[in-house]
Structure 1
């Protein structure tokens, strides 16, 4: 991405075949949260993530954390997963 961009082109989605919903959080390895999603139901997602702050040039270790929940009214927590990647800002 480019320095100063307010959006990151990144695909975050919940596969249609899932039987749970999830919340996705994009954060840097230092704990800085760049984005927190609403509940993503099966078959929904986004390809452009609005960032809470812009980033300066550099390389950042980032991750998307997925917190899975039941689809009932309680949204009972289930499992979670993390997907790490290198975010390069030019």
Structure 2
């Protein structure tokens, strides 16, 4: 009988310790998910399909979305903008947004998986009314190794009204 109590007690202690370790890991990562290459996945990204297919002259390679005129409300940090990684890609995208010739981005995403998009972003600061050149830098990464591929910069007209 005493032996059964010791075995049961040992199992109970092991289960409690496993729970504590699991809880600590969850707290340390704040529930974030990562790729095998260690890239943090954007928690706001969700499955998304564009209304029109991404047109590309290349049959192979990374598909890069284009952007027309973008409109943001003046004085707002939370703005609507769809940042999309086409489902045909085998890499994750990280987006960085730059205004005119500024060197500090006004927004940087976490990694966005193929076929997913974020549609609302929080800028580092609110923008004043006016017209700007918005440079959208797209950095593709291999999700397995975390290695960065060549980047692309897409330019769009930004109207802040």
Partner of residue 79, structure 2:
8
Write the distance in 1 (CA, Å) between the matches of 2:73 and 2:83. 20
- Between the aligned partners of 1:28 and 1:6, the Cα distance in structure 2 is 14
Distance 1:83 1:53 in 2: 21
Larger fraction in helix: 2
Return the offset for 1:30: 2.2
What per-residue deviation string (whole Å, max 9, x for no partner) do you get for residues 54-85 of structure 1? 0111111111100111111x310112111111
Q: Partner residue of 1:54?
A: 126
Matched residues, number: 89
TM-score scaled by length of structure 2:
0.52
Cα RMSD after superposing both structures: 1.2
**4+ residue segments displaced more than 4 Å:** none
Greater fraction strand: 1
Q: Does 1:83 align with 2:150?
A: no
Q: Given the alignment of the two structures, is residue 65 of structure 1 paired with residue 137 of structure 2, yes or no?
A: yes
Q: Which protein has the larger Cα radius of gyration, Structure 1 or Structure 2?
A: 2
